[in-house]
Structure 1
Amino acid sequence: MAKLTSSSIVDILGAIIADELGRLRMGDEQLWKGRQWQSNTQIVFASKATGDAQEVIVDSFEWMSIASRVVEFFQLDSSELEDYLLRFSTLQQWAEVIETSREDHRLDITFCSSGSVAQVSHHRHDWMALLAEAQFFVDFIKRHDVEIERVVSFVPPHHIYGFIFSVLIPELLDIPVVRGLKAFSMTQAQQLTNNDLLIGFPAAFEQFVQMDTTFPPAANAVCSTGPCAPAVLNALTRNGLNSVFEIYGSTETAGVGIRNDPNQPYQLLSRWIKQGKEQLMDNLSRELIDLPDSIQWHGPGLFEPLKRNDEVLSICGKSVHPEAIADVIRQHPNISDARVRLNHAQESHSLKALLIADPEQRSGQAETLIAQVRTWLADKLEPHELPKRFAVRDSIPTNELGKEIDWESQPDLMRR
């Protein structure tokens, strides 16, 4: 496959627009992410709107923000065709601009991280490396006597995991793909068929287990974006799935390993060469990467992540361990959980904390609880370890993939 099809580009454009409007219009995230995007969907200003159901009305800032995301994702600046996004309004027209750009110019794709850090990072991936990775996964899955006739994806296609498994793999195999809300509805209604390949993430599969969803005996699944409890994976196979393949990787690295048994190690992708215990070398770019976890190696190309490496930060010239500070906060009688992160909002680095309040023990307003926690921490932490900003929530905020996101993206929750 030398290029993306127009329909795949339209799906990706819809996901990018939904993600950007969900970010800009706080409270409307699910509305946009549940929308079905079509090739005739139009991005228009209110002054030009006609009331058509396929119109998405935006202001000038939103239009520029969306266009900028599209330009970066598809590297349109390499062809200098980015201005055409401002001349056209339908997703099909945008897709044609992208196809024209990719014919003779840069093919690489840029993905944004979606984890718990406050500052989003951008990572450009080589097109041929992405294709090779998708083919590796296809070959690995087929070696386990799995046939794939349709992809059913709960993962947005503008995320690297969703791109590889719900865009590239269907393109390589020339098979249909079902996405988003329709994929969830079909699964919950138990309308899947044999040889479906489900592309999901831990929180989605946990939900299906809680609902006691059953699956066809020749359907299979892929899980990524974070560790999935073995009990959940085992429940999925008891409920009918033939097997569940787990992917280990990140936005920065793309895929690193794959396995289809939670009791077995991951197989390292052929792209990577082991360098020491927790470093890999890309055999194409020769770039070295640091793995985010402590790794146990079980022989050539076989590994097991043990635990997340403790992030050490420097505050006022002194080392601090955010997770250790969070552990101290969790000992407060009215706190059920906590997160501690670097406070990027401050010119001089400091820490911020998210407090998850136990509803049965919490009393009073958030400001009162924060004051109690501040006082309680004063004789338990060093001055440089004390968070400067606090927020209170009932649960840890996550994105559509079930991954933790930074709570400061919801400023109404912040309390000084």
Structure 2
Amino acid sequence: MLLLNDVKRILTDMFRTELARKKADALAVFDENSQADFFERVPQDILKTVSDKAAIFFGYEPRVFSSLDLMTDYAYAAFLHGRKLTFLTSGSTGTPKRCIHTLAMIEEEAYGVAPDFKGVKRVVSLVPSNHMYGFTFTVTLPHALNVPALVLPALPTQPWSDILQEGDLIAGFPLFWNYWVRLENPFPKGVHAMSSTAPCKKEIIDALYSLGASQFTEIYGASETGAIARRHHSTDAFELFPFWDVSLTDDQPQIKRKSQNSWLTLPDEVETTQGRFLIPIKRSDACVQVAGINVFPKRVEEVLAAHPAVKACRVRLMRPEEGERLKAFIVLNEGYTQEHLGIIRTYLAQRLTVHELPRTFTFGSELPVSAMGKDADW
């Protein structure tokens, strides 16, 4: 279910993820024409971070390797010995949670989702394989279907009419599909589209069908659980995959894998219909999603509030008409003015990921509240 080349791809995606997070020059690092070894081109802080995360993911004590090939061999041997992988909650801005998936769970999920994709001849991956969605649907699903996987950068402007072929399944994410729709890219005949990591808007799903998608599948899941449910149309509820049982005895339904005994709480508050169908209402863990990455506004508030210029602040997700990033409202301490925004931005950029950084800043003499004294939007 997991081959040596899969492990190398996962490790490479870990490096790409960290390079993007630190805004480093990924092109220079992955320059195949360079005479220097790959590890010699990776910044040392990123090499240390990836080494630590890889040790957690594959289940071995952290250690230093002299090359990517040696790291791949060691990680693969650790997986074969431990027969499990440990995913970290994707993009979480507190302490990342460790989510263990045994080989039995990995196989159960891969073969459990496979019947939904009969007729797929190739998986086209636009997502990192070191996160749960990318791992399940672009690493293990191709093995379950016995089809190849084509890994491409998530660039909507590529010559898709030349790349895609009948029977392709494109594993994308909402922000990518938003740009696909803006560019009005047509789908060749018989091409399936898939999305996860964040809710896909109704108008985007409908537009993908209008542009010729043979089928659209939206995956609902989490790092803790893996894939939970799927739907194919914007008006559909999500249907649980067949390897899940559901309990409706509590206020909020619980689920458990049919192969296990423990019941799990869903990551969202949901409405249920017809037993195995659910509609997510809102996140249960106070996080929002920015470009498919989970972000905790309260954590961003804490970092912003620690700056000496800030007396009080609020951070929240923009309204749909404003954009798809975070925004901040700041009450300044005496002696500071809006001209200090550049200093505040620099301070935040040194402490937050690119997805956590507020895109817009509003200043006022007091925080916005409603007539009842509750926090209000601005």
TM-score by length of 1: 0.67
Contact 1:118 1:406 in 2 (8 A): no
Tell me the distance in 1 between the aligned counterparts of 2:78 and 2:267: 35
CA contact (8 A) 1:21 1:32 kept: yes
Q: Residues 202 and 271 (structure 1 numbering): CA distance in 2 closer, same or farther, change over 3 Å?
A: same
Residue 71 (structure 1) aligned with residue 46 (structure 2): no
- Structure 1 residue 8, shift from structure 2 partner: 1.2
1:120 aligns with 2:96: yes
Pair 1:278-2:252 in alignment = yes
> Which residue in 1 is equivalent to 2:268?
293
Q: Is the 8 A contact 1:157 1:167 kept in 2?
A: yes
Cα drift, residue 243 of structure 1: 0.8
Counterpart check, 1:151 vs 2:123: yes
Structure 1 unaligned segments of length 5 or more: list them.
42-49, 312-321, 324-338, 359-365, 375-389, 394-398
Cα distance in structure 1, aligned partners of 2:285 and 2:233: 27
Unaligned residue ranges in structure 2 (runs of 5+): 289-295, 307-311, 320-326, 335-342, 347-351, 364-378
Match of 2:76 among 68, 93, 99: 99
Aligned match of 2:356 in 388, 391, 406? 406
Would the alpha carbon gap of residues 391 and 132 (structure 1) be closer, same or farther in structure 2, given more than 3 Å must change? farther
Name 1:305's counterpart in structure 2: 280
Structure 1 partner of 2:4: 6
Tell me how far 1:166 sits from its aligned partner. Answer: 0.7
Deviation, 1:242, is 0.4
Counterpart code for 1:94? M
CA change 1:34–1:125 in 2 (3 A) is farther
Residues 22-52 of structure 1, C-alpha deviations (whole Å, 9 max, x = no match): 33xx332xx42897698xx9xxxxxxxx843
On the 8 A contact 2:85/2:102 being kept in 1, the answer is yes
User: Do the aligned residues in 2 keep the contact of 1:153 with 1:183 (CA within 8 Å)?
Assistant: no
Q: Within 5 Å, which residues of 2 pair with 1:16-415?
A: 16-23=14-21, 26-28=22-24, 31-32=25-26, 51-52=35-36, 54=38, 56-58=40-42, 60-77=44-61, 83=63, 86-89=64-67, 91-103=68-80, 105-115=81-91, 117-142=93-118, 147-181=119-153, 184=156, 186=158, 188=160, 191-275=163-247, 276-283=250-257, 284-309=259-284, 311=286, 340-342=297-299, 353-354=314-315, 370-371=330-331, 405-407=355-357
Letter in 2 for 1:102: F
Calculate percent identity across the aligned residue pairs.
Answer: 22
Q: Deviations over 1:131-178 (max 9, x none)?
A: 211112111232xxxx11111111100010000011001122332222
Distance in 2 (alpha carbons) for counterparts of 1:73 and 1:20: 15
* Partner secondary structure for residue 407 of structure 1: coil
Going from structure 1 to structure 2, the CA distance change for 1:233 and 1:37 (only over 3 Å counts) comes to farther
Matches of 1:272 and 1:243 in 2, distance apart? 23
Residues 130 and 93 of structure 1: CA distance in aligned 2, closer, same or farther (over 3 Å)? same
1:278–1:115: structure 2 CA closer, same or farther, 3 Å change rule?
Answer: farther
CA-CA distance at 1:270 after TM superposition: 2.9
CA distance change for structure 1 residues 392 and 273 in 2, over 3 Å: closer, same or farther? farther
Q: Residues 14 and 37 of structure 1 are in contact (CA less than 8 Å); yes or no, is this contact kept in structure 2?
A: no
Q: Which residue in 2 is equivalent to 1:47?
A: none
Instruction: Give how far 1:121 is off.
Output: 2.3
Contact 2:39 2:66 in 1 (8 A): no
TM-score, normalised to structure 2, is 0.73
CA drift of 1:370 comes to: 2.5
SS in 2 for 1:148: coil
CA distance in 1, matches of 2:161, 2:28: 17
d(CA) in 1 for partners of 2:39 and 2:284? Answer: 46
Q: How far apart are the structure 1 equivalents of 2:28 and 2:251?
A: 42
Give, in whole Å, the separation in 1 of the partners of 2:8 and 2:19.
Answer: 16
- Report if the CA contact (8 A) 1:115-1:406 is conserved: no
Going from structure 1 to structure 2, the CA distance change for 1:307 and 1:102 (only over 3 Å counts) comes to closer
* Pairwise CA distance, 1:391: 6.8
Cα distance in 2 for partners of 1:227, 1:33 equals 31
Q: Is the 8 A contact 1:296 1:305 kept in 2?
A: yes
Q: May I ask how many residue pairs the two structures share in their alignment?
A: 325
Deviation track 1:303-351 (CA, whole Å, cap 9, x = no partner) reads 222333484xxxxxxxxxx99xxxxxxxxxxxxxxx841456699xxx9
